[in-house]
């Protein structure tokens, strides 16, 4: 499944870049995030509880940044382990550009999960997935103290 969005933040690219790499800002933006720590120059460990309706599994995972161009772009790839529910994995390309009085952030993600996770999480596909992503960026803007507006998808 693929999803994404475009967002205008009233902040400089450097401020947005800093927030994208700040674990406290990210934890405040990710529902269910229990732990998010840098364990290497371009590697994070994540633990979060996900609401899949009937079950709320805790996923532990590793996130890897690649294709890093500071204050401009990177790809964030990750794998999550959900115990008996199996694995989920995905990647997101994040690109920042100057726009008017702030920064445009473009987010394009793709992911997949084990059939067992999809059995419980199928409601998050499509429009619901986009609402989850938009909710993340609303909380992200609030956590970094910047106004954010969702833009029409290109």
pLDDT recorded at residue 96: 98
| This prediction's pTM | 0.84
Beta strands 87-99 and 102-113, pairing class: antiparallel
Per-residue pLDDT, 20: 97
Number of domains into which the chain is organized? 1
Residue 106 lies in domain = 2-151
Q: Give the pLDDT mean for 12-19.
A: 98
CATH number of the domain at 147, please.
Answer: 3.30.530.20
Checking 146-152 for CB contacts under 8 A at 24+ apart, the result is 146/9, 146/10, 146/11, 146/15, 146/16, 146/19, 146/102, 147/9, 147/10, 148/7, 148/8, 148/9, 148/10, 149/7, 149/8, 150/5, 150/6, 150/7, 151/5, 151/6, 151/7, 151/8, 151/104, 152/6
Per-residue model confidence as pLDDT tens digits over 100-130:
899 999 999 876 655 555 555 554 554 556 7
pLDDT, position 150: 92
């Amino acid at each position: 499944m693929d999803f994404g969005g475009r967002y205008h933040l009233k902040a400089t690219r450097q401020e947005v870049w800093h927030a994208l790499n700040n674990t406290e800002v990210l934890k405040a933006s990710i529902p269910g995030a229990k732990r998010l720590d840098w364990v290497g120059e371009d590697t994070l460990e994540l633990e979060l509880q996900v609401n899949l309706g009937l079950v709320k599994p805790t996923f532990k995972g590793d996130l890897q940044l690649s294709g890093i161009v500071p204050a401009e772009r990177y790809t964030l790839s990750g794998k999550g382990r959900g115990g008996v529910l199996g694995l989920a994995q995905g990647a997101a390309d994040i690109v920042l550009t100057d726009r008017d009085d702030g920064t445009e952030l473009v987010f394009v993600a793709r992911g997949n999960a084990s059939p067992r996770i999809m059995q419980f999480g199928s409601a998050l596909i499509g429009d619901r997935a986009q609402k989850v992503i938009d909710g993340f960026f609303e909380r992200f803007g609030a956590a970094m103290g910047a106004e954010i507006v969702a833009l029409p998808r290109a």
